[in-house]
Structure 1
Amino acid sequence: MIHPTPAVIGLRKSFGFGDRLGLATPGHVAACRKTDFIPIFAQQSIREMVRTKRSPEDVMADAQRAVMRTAYKADWGADADHLKTEDDVRATAAAGFTFFTFDPSDHVVNEADTMGPEELARGETALIAEGVFEGSSLRDLYLGKRFEIDNGFALTFDEPALLRAAVKYGRAVRHCARLAAALKEAAGGRPYEIEMSVDESEVPTTPLEHLFVARELKRRGVEFISLAPRFIGDFEKAVDYRGDLAAFEASIGQHVAIAKFCGPYKLSLHSGSDKFSVYPIFGRLCGEMLHVKTAGTSYLEALRVVVRVDRPFFRELVEYCRGRFATDRASYHLSTTEADVERLGGVADGDLERMFLDLNEGRQLMHVTYGSVLTLGQDARGRPFRERLMAILEKHAEMHLDFVERHFDKHLGLLLAE
């Protein structure tokens, strides 16, 4: 039986397929059918919806059409990603989403990492004055206690570490509790799931901070199915992991143990697109208890169709994106610089695909400028880029979906590697 509406997923390993154009889901379905991952086909953040001029209803409807057209009969989910406000929660709940990713990054105080004792004390006083915590309850809950996380792995808070965690994440936890209350009301009794995300923080989430956030969410009655810490290393858009793999593995092992101790809940890997070197580690250590989120990588596979069938148009897109990069990169964590983009001029036709869809600098350029391409860009005759792009993808649908399927075969296969 085909399931035209999304379901809650629970503690089953899951994979989020972002589809910025609304055309890639049949390719996602084809890749997912070869695995036991529970897919999330409708997934888009509010930021992406604004940049692509799509509504929550648009995202949901495109996924549902693909599910029906491909006769997909297993459970699938719908992720309202990176929600920051109660209005965002209500809008996506009304559209039928079932998985809600709370993003309290605006309430995370990254400066806490470098605060001295006096600043931390002032920070605690401010939190208490705002009603974030009740007087000395934090000390009663955490100081002098030993948390036996796993065999040989225990965590304890001293006062500086406790105050640092509280100042850094206290308001973020409170904000998530407010979003959870809004979601409960908006859902009207329908089942739903919550993910807590702090992955867009500036510095990695330590094991102590992970423990603190999870326990404080639970203490406030926020039931969540997954949590996305800011892992060590760099998770940049559209490119592989940058960092020490051995250190990443050791860190993931600790985060997995904390998730089992405080939950159980799944660990979620955001900016998960193309992180091929860490997938085997993440899959092996998390087992069933994982969620991976991707987005822009499907859009890049759509551009791969363009460069294969209409190089002049692809070159137009490249030049337009080069002009938009300085503006569009502002909200992303990237290593590609404006100087790098300047050096990407004058690429020969035969090198276009490799330079802009395979190598890091070009991939990041084309990734972050998608909103401008889809809503602002026009060719020399005034025809919107989006219109031309969609026409190419519809004409070459088989090629497009083959590219998408093979791309995600690699993602999913590495997550399942022994």
Structure 2
Amino acid sequence: NNLNWKGLKSNIKDLSVEYLGKEFILSEDLTIKSDLISLKRALVKYGNAIAHIKKLYDHLVTKYPNYDSEVEISVDETESVTTPFEHFFFVKELNRLGVKFISLAPRFIGDFEKGIDYKGELDLFKQEYLKHLAITKYFGNYKISLHSGSDKFSVYKVIGSIKGAYTHIKTAGTSYLEALKVMALKEPIFFREILDYCTSLYEHEKKTYHVSADFTKIKTGNDYTDEELEPLFYDDNVRQVLHVTFGRILTDKTTNGEYKFKDRLLNYLKTYEETYYEIIEIHFHKHLDPFK
């Protein structure tokens, strides 16, 4: 009853005719079919999202008709996995509504937490990924996206081993962590200040992220020697605490209206620009090389 049928421009009767009792042969290894329960589950999970995407898309193309834009869609930060039928249904309905997009991030099996490697069974991930890949190839107008996809090196190897597995990966957050690594190497006092501030904010800031860090396992900055700071970037707890608090580091101000960290961070990055380039180049290669 809470479904936006008007936004979907459809109804349960028409959708039942479209999906029930049919087999959609996507590849030699994948045939999509649905029962009424699966259809209703897909509608409950994604129906209103599809209607909302259509509304946003129409606003974009009518308000800015001459603006060169690309639409990316993500449903990855949900509690339940996106099944092959739900992926198929989602894209088929968007196509019916005339929504053009370049990538879709489904919710894969396993955990794609911020700033750390994949948690889950890689063989099972590969089995499911191949199904989702077959769906993208069937429609042919977008590619799979891995949101929260940075630092998922074990997954990159799996995808890189699959021929034609074109994938979009977002890496913005991890690039920020590499900038903080420069601070740990070059300005340890400043980095300790950031670390303590982030640790104090973590419990509040983590609420909108998929993370599992235990901030109580992180010592105060002054309890680490200079030599111990850079290795912290290989500690999952530290990585996630630093990752989810990035917005506060870049926006929080003092009572005098001055940025607490932003200006100093940017100035230091200018000072150590070449060091940052060296570090970020190594990091990007770690992300890209598995796909060669």
CA distance in 2, matches of 1:259, 1:202: 22
Q: Does 2:191 align with 1:310?
A: no
Find 2:139's aligned residue among 234, 238, 262.
262
8 Å CA contact 2:117–2:154 kept in 1: the answer is yes
- Relative distance call for 1:372 and 1:137 in structure 2 (3 A) is same
CA distance in 2, matches of 1:400, 1:179: 37
| DSSP-derived class of the 2:169 partner | strand
| 1:223-282, Cα deviation, whole Å (9 max, x unpaired) | 222211111111111101111000010010000001111234211111111111111222
8 Å CA contact 2:145–2:169 kept in 1: the answer is yes
Find 2:262's aligned residue among 369, 386, 390.
386
Q: Does 2:244 align with 1:368?
A: yes
Find 1:189's aligned residue among 42, 46, 66.
66
Runs of 5+ consecutive residues of structure 2 not aligned to the other structure = none
Q: Does 2:23 align with 1:157?
A: no
Trace 1:216-231 onto structure 2 (pairs within 5 A): 216-231=93-108
Trace 1:16-415 onto structure 2 (pairs within 5 A): 125-127=1-3, 132=8, 133-285=10-162, 287=164, 289-341=166-218, 346-355=223-232, 357-376=233-252, 384-415=260-291
**Identity score, percent:** 42
8 Å CA contact 1:145–1:157 kept in 2: the answer is yes
- Relative distance call for 1:193 and 1:347 in structure 2 (3 A) is same
Amino acid aligned to 2:69: Y
Relative contact order: is structure 1 or structure 2 higher (C-alpha 8 Å, sep ≥ 6)?
A: 1
| 1:315-366, Cα deviation, whole Å (9 max, x unpaired) | 11111111111121121111113433468883333212212x1211111111
Higher helix share: 2
My pick for the range that moved more, 204-213 or 334-343, is 334-343
> What displacement does 1:286 show?
6.2
CA distance in 2, matches of 1:351, 1:407: 20
CA distance in 2, matches of 1:190, 1:397: 33
Amino acid aligned to 2:114: K
| DSSP-derived class of the 1:285 partner | coil
- Relative distance call for 1:325 and 1:342 in structure 2 (3 A) is farther
CA distance in 1, matches of 2:110, 2:31: 23
8 Å CA contact 1:199–1:231 kept in 2: the answer is yes
> What displacement does 1:131 show?
5.9
8 Å CA contact 1:147–1:154 kept in 2: the answer is yes
My pick for the range that moved more, 222-231 or 207-216, is 222-231
CA distance in 2, matches of 1:245, 1:207: 18
8 Å CA contact 1:322–1:342 kept in 2: the answer is no
Amino acid aligned to 2:121: D
CA distance in 1, matches of 2:159, 2:214: 29
8 Å CA contact 1:334–1:364 kept in 2: the answer is yes
> What displacement does 1:190 show?
3.9
Number of residue pairs matched? 288
| 1:48-99, Cα deviation, whole Å (9 max, x unpaired) | xxxxxxxxxxxxxxxxxxxxxxxxxxxxxxxxxxxxxxxxxxxxxxxxxxxx
| DSSP-derived class of the 2:117 partner | coil
